Amino acid sequence: MRFIQRGLSILAVVMLLISLYRFVEGFQNWQEARQIKQQSLYELAALERERDRLKIRVEKLKTDELTKERLARRLSYIKPGETVYKIVPVAESGQE
């Protein structure tokens, strides 16, 4: 009878250790998942800010004449009927 009690006690301790190991492993996985979720939320917030910034820019490009004009001039676009003047620098010849 004592043999059975010792066997059951050892089995209970082994089961307790296995359960404890699995609990710690699960807790570590949970912590890692929380960190991944938090990082994803930060990335999502940054992407949402970028989206909002781009929406404002698109709206300005659609409606704001000054923004359109600045972009067109930066890209060297001209309107139909405009005259383009190009100024070519005169090369210095060193001869007198």
57, 51 Cβ separation under 8 angstroms:
no
6-36 confidence digits (pLDDT tens): 889 999 999 999 999 999 999 999 999 999 9
pTM confidence score: 0.53
- The residue ranges of every structural domain in the chain are 2-74
Length of the chain: 96
42-96 confidence digits (pLDDT tens): 999 999 999 999 999 999 889 998 988 888 888 888 888 888 888 888 887 666 5
45, 38 Cβ separation under 8 angstroms:
no
